[in-house]
Chain A
Amino acid sequence: MTVEGNGRGGVGMRDEGGRDKFPTGMRVLAVDDDSTFLKVLEKMLRDCKYHVTTTNDGATALRLLRENRKSFDLVMSDVQMPEIDGFKLLETVVFEMDLPVIMLSSYGDTKLVMRGVYHGASDYLVKPVRMEELKNIWQHVIRKNFNSKLKNDCPNLDKVNDREVGVVGNMAASGDLPGKLTKRRKEQNEDDEDEDSEDGGQENEEPSSQKKPRVVWSVELHQKFINAVNQLGLEKAVPKKILDIMNVEGITRENVASHLQKYRMYLKKARGFASESKDPSYIRLASLDKYGEFQTLTGSGRLSSNSSLPSYSAIGMLGTFNPPSYLGLQGNASSGVSSPNYLQTLNSSFTKAGKLQEVSLPANQGSSIFQGVPTTLNFNNIINSSIKVTGNNLDMGSSPNGLQNSVYSGMSSHVFTQGSQLQPQNASSVEVTASASWQGVTRYSNFPSATLNQHTSTNLRGNFNLTSPDTCDNLIDFSSTGAISGTLEDSRRDIECDGGLIDNVVRHVNYGLSQHGKDRHRNYKQISSSTSALVPANGASGSVSQRMTQNGTAVYSGVPDVSVIPEQSNLSGVHHHSSVEVSYIDHMTKCNDLSSLEHMKPQGSIYNANYESFDELMNAVIKRDHNRETMLMDGDMLFDASQLGSCI
């Protein structure tokens, strides 16, 4: 990235003094229906020295933004809000107001993140948001302004820089890429010399460089396109007819065809997400339609049934596909039309991903005209992976050999194969690396494992590390020695207070004990299982299951069991850990004798001491309980019916 002297642009960056000030004073608008989160976020942002405005309501946010375009530098918005669709808001802000938008969500799953990127988000943060992530969000403002400024000042560099700028700061671009890109431009120039320049945005001012005239789908042009498509009906919309209706000079049928293709992809994506359709057959049908369409258009063969990928890229190749051309839309959309925006979304969002894919392409690409392709292919890669469910990808068939026969489709499937060879799932080669470039992604990637992978004890330990690092060492000790001894304290104390619940628990545990094998015990041994005394008012049944979350992660594998056997008591789902509990209690109580607890009370109670820190407290508890460890944690802890019988 060697555009020295052009690093200006954006808020407070006019001079060195201004640069020092920024990002202080950056104006952020935060939108979320969750008031709790909003308050925390606001405080955090203020601590980062930003100016913050908050609102619960998307409509208010839009109004604020429209009233004065310049009044904010950055918008942060939750994507799942009850009254207004967060993604729509996202799109509108990105394209109508040309502001960077950061998405917020409680969930970090891939589909949501991808949707966000499609809709133009600059970043995606998972709640709860940390200070470190917020300290860096100003980069999105800079980046956006940087891009705009480059386009305005140096139109010739557009094609190179739009891609490179898109990755600045986050990814290392391959060294030879600029060379490839330049070559690509020249190739396209040779191919498309006869194309006229387009109304709405020929920014090329140097005839000597023979830049290929780009077709810029400006808002007006796109609006005509949309009108034509609507007039014809989406299913009947054929590029030739669209072209006739649009009646615009200077665009060819190929331009329209490629634009139409993208538009259809966009709609399908939008519909697919809106209806949350997970049915791959729907996609397959759609792609079959396209396949038929494609045949009539180009007569090209060699398409497999899931042909959305090759057909798209093939048309893209035939047309004057040129990603940066769509970037001309940036800042031009004034009417809030959201449909042209997907184009920018494609490109600005995928310059990063596109970069990556380019890097991974093998050298024997043949003509470098295909350098343009990876971006779209990559996009399709991601679409395919996001919409495929059963691993039913493109039928590779003999695709590598198809390179010679049909360059386009062979190319595409070759690349796709490449992608799939790299990773078992096509998406992951892109998404993992693409996502690695995002801020706060470690949060995102950790989050699913923290809450969703709940069934192995190793995860229990690992996950607990996430939640309380300062206690994790102590508590890992717990889980290794047997959390039961660790929770001796509170369980006993609570028993003192609330008393009489042990028999409750023991009784309930009876239901499940006979039904589950001992092997379960081993898994759940590590789960602390003190009594249900913590929530006395609500009865033991519901609360025992919550005790299993001692280690900070929910091992709610019990709950699905609950739902499967609805006629039994709640406890049926949690009996396996309760069984550990009962045998422990058995040891403790010697046949339900609560008084026996008394001499288990620690000598020199820790409650006497003033523990200044949580750590001290935990250390004391561990130290004391290590002594008792051998007594409690032995083979007898496993379920033994006779013991139980004797105690009830």
Chain B
Amino acid sequence: MVRPMPHIFTSTGLPLWLLGWGAEFLRAEMSRLLALLFHQGVLDEQFLQLQQLQDESSPNFVYEVTSIYFSESEKLLRNLKLLLMEKELSDYRKIEIHLNQFMGSSSSIGANRVRNVCVTFRAATEENNRIGCLRALELLENEYYYLKNKLHEFFQIEQQRSLAARVRYPMQD
């Protein structure tokens, strides 16, 4: 049987775990997704560190951190956009400060490609290169939203897996 991409909700609209897709399968899906993201360089080993930090005292650590990351990053992206859209853009230092934070937070969760785009972006601000900055911002948004989508997917599978692990169906093994 060819297993398709992890469409969490099948055509019947029921979640996988209810249909008996076992925790095992879901865990494999998570691994596969992570493998893909590592392979693409979207995530790096720092993400693994995050996972290692998750323990009984903070069982949802990865999710919490990435949630903070998402809300902060979207603020930063908005600010960056505003700054770059200004007619008279003269102060690249403010952009640098935002970038600095974006870079720090991205590297903290292992968002490798996002961080790399920040480096390029920073280079463009150092040259006071507005066009370069605009291009870099576009790249940055692309990378960020891709990462966000994939991580959302990851957490959905995770959630279902933990549900499935608690529910027992006869067809599961």
Contacts and interface: CB of A to CB of B under 8 A. Distances in A.
A556 B107 contact: no
Interface in A531-572: 534-535, 537-538, 542-543, 545-546, 549-554, 556, 559-560, 562-563, 566, 570
6 nearest A-B pairs in the assembled complex, by CB-CB distance: A554-B116, A563-B132, A36-B105, A552-B41, A467-B44, A106-B104
B23 to A, nearest CB: 11
A563 B124 contact: yes
Given A34-B104, A607-B2, A612-B28, 6 more contacts: A36-B104, A106-B104, A106-B107, A534-B146, A573-B135, A611-B32
A59 interface: no
Interface stretch (B13-21, B58-66, B153-161): B58-66
A294 to B, nearest CB: 35
Contacts of A469: 45
Interface residues of B, number: 61
A370 B34 CA distance: 60
B73 to A, nearest CB: 8
Interface in A580-618: 605, 607-608, 610-614, 617-618
A152 interface: no
| Chain A interface size range | 35 or more
Given A468-B45, A559-B136, A611-B28, A550 B40 contact: yes
A34 B72 contact: yes
Contacts of B1: 608
A68 to B, nearest CB: 27
Given A546-B113, A614-B34, A43 B53 contact: yes
A359 interface: no
A570 B134 CA distance: 11
A33 interface: yes
Contacts of A43: 53, 58, 61
A80 B109 contact: no
A556 B25 contact: no
Secondary structure call for the B interface? helix
A396 interface: no
B103 interface: yes
B8 interface: no
A475 interface: yes
B44 A35 contact: no
Nearest to A451: B119
18 contacts: A36-B104, A39-B65, A107-B100, A128-B108, A131-B49, A467-B112, A468-B38, A475-B39, A490-B39, A493-B5, A543-B142, A546-B117, A546-B142, A556-B116, A556-B120, A611-B35, A613-B31, A617-B31
The binding surface of chain A is classed by DSSP as helix
B31 A611 contact: yes
B171 interface: no
Interface string A515-543: 00000000000000000001101100011
Contact of A44 (B38, B40, B53, B131): B53
Nearest to A557: B120
Contacts of A554: 113, 116-117, 119-120
A130 B100 CA distance: 19
Contacts of B141: 538
Interface of B: 1-3, 5, 24-25, 28, 31-32, 34-36, 38-41, 44-46, 49-50, 53, 57-58, 61, 64-65, 68-69, 72, 97, 100-101, 103-105, 107-110, 112-113, 115-117, 119-120, 123-124, 129, 131-132, 135-136, 138-139, 141-143, 145-146
A256 B58 CA distance: 58
Nearest to B135: A562
Given A605-B2, A614-B38, A35 B72 contact: yes
Nearest to A39: B65
A121 B5 CA distance: 51
B68 A467 contact: no
A397 interface: no
A35 B101 CA distance: 9
Contact of A37 (B24, B32, B108): B108
Contact of A618 (B39, B44, B68, B145): B39
B45 A608 contact: no
B109 A40 contact: yes
Nearest to A570: B135
Contacts of B105: 34-37
A471 interface: yes
B5 A497 contact: yes
A35 B32 CA distance: 29
Nearest to B111: A36
A614 B108 contact: no
Contacts of A546: 113, 117, 139, 142-143
B35 A563 contact: no
Contacts of B3: 607-608
A543 B129 CA distance: 21
Contact of A560 (B32, B34, B132): B132
Given A36-B109, A106-B100, A106-B104, A553 B2 contact: no
A299 interface: no
A80 B122 CA distance: 14
A452 interface: yes
A582 to B, nearest CB: 20
A511 to B, nearest CB: 15
Contacts of B146: 534-535
